[in-house]
Amino acid sequence: MGKLLSVNLLQRVVVALVGIPFLLWLIKVGGVWFFCFFLLLALLAGFEFHRLARHKAHPPALWIVLVITLLFQVNFYQQFAEVWELLLGVMLALLVMELFLKDGSPLLNLGSILPGLLYVNLSFGSLLRLRFSEADGKGEILVFLMFFCVWSADIFAYFGGSTLGGRFIHRKLFERLSPHKTWEGFLCGLAGSVSAAMIYGSFVPQLPFKTAFLTGLLIGLASPAGDLIESMFKRDAGVKDSSGLIPGHGGVLDRFDTIMFVSPFIYFIAFHV
C-alpha cells in the first residue's frame, strides 16, 4: 500500500512539473493553441461524463455528446451565435433523438447527460471567453489569477488540513461526499487563495484591488464545491476516478473540477462587478 502511494505521489509530482509550466505558457500565448488545448480538455471531460452517465442510464451515443461539445466550444471561441440559441437547438435535437431510442427511461437518459453537457461546456466556454475577452491583456491577467488562486487554495487546504485537521474544530467539512475534507483545510485554502490574489495583484498594476480580492475570496470559498460536485457524480456512478487519463490525478474532471466550477463566476466578476 505504501509503495502504491509513493508511485502515485511521484506521478502527481511529475505531471505537475511538466503540466504547470505548459499551462502557464498556454495562458501567455493564447490564440489557437490555448483554444485547441482547452477544446481537447472539454472533449475529454465530455467523454468522462458520458462514461459516468452510462453507469446509471442509456445516454445518447458518445459521438453525439462530442459533436455537441465541439459546437459549443467553437461557438464560445468564434461567437457565431448566442449561447441560448445553441442551448435551444441542442435541447430540441436531444428530445427528437430520444424518440428513436429503445433502451431505458427517456427521463433518466436525458437527465443523466444534460447536466454534464451544460456543466462541461459552460465551464470551459467561460474560460475561453475570459481569456479572449480583451485585447489589452485583461483576459490573460484574469486567467493567470484564477489558476494561481486555485493552485494556492489546493496546496494550503491539503497541507493545512493534514497538519491541523481535527485539532481545533473537530468537524468534517462534508463527510458524506468527501470524508477527508476538514474545516481547517477549508479555512487554510481560503487564506491561501486570498493571499495568492493579493500577492499577484501587487505585481500587476492593471489588476484592480477589488477584482483581485473578490476573485481570491470567491475561489477560496468555492474551491471545495467543485470537488464535492464531482465527488457526488462519481459516488452516484460508483467509480473512484472519472478516468485514468492523467497519471496520478485521475481524469480531466478530477484534475480541473475547481477550475470548471469557478470559471463562470470569475467571468461574471470580470465584466459585471
pLDDT of residue 167: 56
* Number of Cβ within a 10 Å radius of residue 168: 11
pLDDT of residue 4: 47
Sign of CA dihedral 185, 170, 172, 261: negative
pLDDT 10s digits, 11-36: 777 777 888 899 999 999 988 999 99
Q: Which of 4, 67, 36, 44 is nearest to 255 (CA)?
A: 44
pLDDT 10s digits, 52-71: 999 888 888 899 999 999 99
Helix (H, G, I), strand (E, B) or coil at 250: strand
- Ordered DSSP codes for 14-83: HHHHHHHHHHHHHHHH-HHHHHHHHHHHHHHHHHHHHHHHTTTS-PSPHHHHHHHHHHHHHHHHH--S-H
Please identify every stretch of the chain with a pLDDT value under 50, giving residue numbers as ranges: 1-2, 4-5
Helix (H, G, I), strand (E, B) or coil at 174: strand
- Give this prediction's pTM: 0.89
**CB 259 within 8 Å of CB 38:** no
DSSP 8-class letter at 246: B
Position 199, amino acid: I
pLDDT of residue 169: 54
**CB 21 within 8 Å of CB 232:** no
Give φ, ψ of 263 to 5 degrees: -55, -50
User: C-alpha 172: how far from its chain's center?
Assistant: 23
